[in-house]
Structure 1
Amino acid sequence: MKTSILALGFATVASMAAAETPVLTVLTYDSFVAEWGPGPAVEKAFEATCGCDLKFVPAGDGAALLGRVQMEGKTSEADVVLGIDTSLTASARATGLFAAHGQTWANDLPVTYSDADFVPYDWGWFAMVYDKTKVTNVPKTFEELGASDLKIVIEDPRSSTPGLGLLLWVKAAYGDKAKDVWAALADNIVTVTPGWSEAYGLFTEGEADMVLSYTTSPAYHLIAESDDSKAAAVFEEGHYMQVEVAGKLAATDQPDLADKFLAFIGSDAFQSTIPTTNWMYPAVTPSAGLPEGFDRFRPAKSLLMTAEEAAAARDGALAEWQAALAK
Structure 2
Amino acid sequence: MKTTLSVIAGLLATSAMAQENVLTVYTYDSFVTEWGPGPAVEAAFEETCGCDLQFEGAGDGAALLSRLQLEGPRTDADIVLGLDTNLTAAARETGLFAEHGLSPDLDLPVEWTDSHFLPFDWGYFAFVGNAGAEAPTSLRDLADSDIQIVIQDPRSSTPGLGLLMWVKTAYGDEASALWEDLADNIVTVTPGWSEAYGLFLEGEADAVLSYTTSPAYHLIAEEDDSKVAWAFEEGHYMQVEVAGKVASTDVPDLADQFLAFMLTDAFQSAIPTTNWMYPAVVPEDGLPDGFETLIQPETALLLSPEEASATRDAALEEWRAALAR
Sort the TM-score into its range (normalised by shorter chain).
Answer: over 0.9
Shift of 1:103: 1.2
Q: Could you list the per-position Cα deviations for residues 1-24 of structure 1 after superposition, in whole angstroms to 9, with x for gaps in the alignment?
A: xxxxxxxx9xxx999767634100
1:230 paired with 2:230, answer no
**Contact preservation (8 Å) 1:219, 1:292:** no
SS in 2 for 1:67: helix
Calculate the aligned-residue CA RMSD, in Å.
Answer: 1.6
Pair 1:312 & 2:298 matched: no
State the alpha-carbon separation in 2 of the partners of residues 178 and 130 from structure 1: 23
Letter in 1 for 2:318: E
Answering whether residue 235 of structure 2 is matched by residue 202 of structure 1, we say no
Deviations 1:15-51 (A, max 9, x none): 9767634100000000000000000000000000001
The sequence identity of aligned pairs, in percent, is 67
Aligned equivalents of 2:34, 2:167: Cα separation in 1:
33
1:180-199 correspondence to structure 2 within 5 Å: 180-199=177-196
**Could you tell me which amino acid in structure 2 is paired with residue 72 of structure 1?**
E
TM-score for the superposition, normalised by structure 2: 0.94
* 2:102 counterpart of 1:103: yes
Structure 2: state its 5+ residue gaps.
1-6
> What is the rounded CA distance, in whole Å, between the counterparts of 1:323 and 1:17 in structure 2?
56
Aligned match of 1:42: 41
Aligned residues: 315
Counterpart of 1:171, as a letter, is: K
In the TM superposition, what is the alpha-carbon distance from 1:292 to its structure 2 partner? 2.2
| Structure 2 CA distance for aligned equivalents of residues 172 and 126 of structure 1 | 13
Distance 2:220 2:14 in 1: 42
Q: Which residue of 1 aligns with 2:143?
A: 146
Structure 1 residue runs of 4+, over 3 Å off?
A: 13-19
Inter-partner Cα distance in structure 1 for 2:100 and 2:215: 34
Counterpart for residue 178 of structure 1: 175
Deviations 1:204-247 (A, max 9, x none): 00000010000000000000000000000000000000000000
2:278 to 277, 281, 306: 281
Deviation at 1:87, TM superposition (A): 0.2
Note the 1:117-156 alignment, pairs <5 A. Answer: 117-133=116-132, 135=133, 137-156=134-153
TM-score by length of 1: 0.94
Q: Residue type of the partner of 2:165? A: L
Does the 8 Å contact 1:98/1:249 carry over to 2?
yes
d(CA) in 2 for partners of 1:17, 1:265: 29
Note the alpha carbon deviations across 1:166-195, whole angstroms, 9 max, x for none. Answer: 000011111111111111100000000000
C-alpha displacement of 1:294? 2.0
8 Å contact kept, 1:239–1:303: yes
Question: Aligned partners of 1:163, 1:312: CA distance in 2, in Å?
Answer: 17
Correspondence for 1:260 among 257, 261, 275: 257
- Aligned counterparts of 1:112 and 1:220: Cα–Cα separation in 2: 28
Deviation for aligned residue 1:111? 1.1
Letter aligned with residue 232 of structure 2: F
Q: What secondary structure is seen at the aligned counterpart in 2 of 1:274?
A: coil
Asked whether 1:167 is paired with 2:126, we answer no
Q: CA deviation at 1:104?
A: 1.6
Q: Provide the residue aligned with 1:92 in structure 2.
A: 91
2:269 is matched with which residue? 272
Is there any run of 5+ residues in structure 1 with no aligned partner, and where?
1-8
* 1:247-282 per-position Cα deviation (integer Å, ceiling 9, x unaligned): 001000000000000000110000000000000000
Q: CA deviation at 1:80?
A: 0.4
Counterpart of 2:78 in structure 1 is 79
Distance 1:187 1:251 in 2: 46
